[in-house]
Homo-oligomer: A and B are copies of this chain.
Amino acid sequence: MSLPFTLLIDPVSVDSERISFDDTFHEMDSAAPALRVGELSAQRGDGIFETLSVVNGHPQEVEPHIARLRDSAEICDLPVPNPAQWRAAIAYAVARLPQQGELALKFVLSRGVESGPAPTAWLHATRAADFGAVRATGVRVVTLDRGYPRGVAERAPWLLMGAKTLSYAINMAALREATRRGADDTIFVTTDGYVMEGPTSSVIVRIDGVYVTPAPNGAILHGTTQQSLFEYLRAQGVPVEYRDVTLSELREADASWLVSSVRLAVSVTTLDGAPMRTDFAVSNEFNSYLLGRTDN
């Protein structure tokens, strides 16, 4: 099967609590139109998604991605996805994808066509960009104010901060702003100076030998790759911690990484133009571990 690969899933029964899909999946020509313009994904960015990596035929962290899709659905008042059906759809797609190399497999649950009967769901796989170089050399990062003070997520759940919605225009704008400033990526900070996350990644900081990530207290996404790395570190007896991280702690860190499902772990080499301490040996170890996962 050539890439990109597209699979539409037809919902057969939906109520406000739960969505079930047809067991048959519809492979589409990715170059052909698949969505109506009345789609709320396209009109309103109104839906949720996950992107997982498929490495040499092995989909990575399927269960954490499905779990987060369910969390996102709940936050967004979407019918809660049936894990068994998403598992089946992912397996169906992966069986038809190239069994060599790194792929990105996105799965989407949109609120559907406006005034329509049901959500829309699809999977879309593409060849991953070649991230070999950036894994080896790291990224230059700028910090950008996310506009929100710490604690707003709990007070204002309608801001959907813990959900991975399709409304990513700000995330994309933040990456363009990084480029404009001569950098490669962005770390969002709260208006009061706390580290949040990247537009498409989680932040891990090593402080006095402890691997720390900002607590996913509703204001940021709970990163599937970050969780995977914390499991790996814990298994080796290395201390890990979820807690608030200030911008000055980030600047002074022993080392820091942006981690995400497809690009995996990349070292932060500069922050707002200033050099950062790095540990490329650990970056390499992280990526070897991440690329070697075959248990799901």
Interface residues of A (CB under 8 A from B): 4, 6, 28, 30-47, 49, 76-77, 106, 108, 110-111, 114, 122, 124, 126, 144-149, 152, 155-160, 163, 165-174, 176-177, 191
A43 CA / B123 CA spacing, docked (Å) = 11
This protein's copies in its complex: 2
A11 CA / B165 CA spacing, docked (Å) = 28
A174→B158 contact, CB < 8 A: yes
Q: Which of B43, B106, B152 has a CB less than 8 Å from the CB of A145?
A: B152
A110 CA / B45 CA spacing, docked (Å) = 11
Q: A46-B169, A158-B177 are in contact. List 5 more A-B contacts (CB 8 A).
A: A28-B37, A35-B42, A37-B108, A45-B165, A147-B148
Which residues from B are CB-within-8-Å of A191? Answer: 149, 152
A98 CA / B252 CA spacing, docked (Å) = 65
B43→A106 contact, CB < 8 A: yes
A33→B30 contact, CB < 8 A: no
Considering the complex of A and B, which 8 residue pairs feature the smallest CB-CB distances, nearest first?
A: A45-B45, A167-B167, A167-B169, A33-B33, A44-B168, A45-B167, A41-B42, A165-B169
A36→B36 contact, CB < 8 A: no
B152→A156 contact, CB < 8 A: no
B166→A37 contact, CB < 8 A: no
Q: Which of B34, B111, B144, B168 has a CB less than 8 Å from the CB of A45?
A: B168
CB-CB under 8 A for A169 and B39, given A149-B149, A152-B145, A158-B177: no
CB-CB under 8 A for A6 and B37, given A77-B173, A149-B149, A166-B45: yes
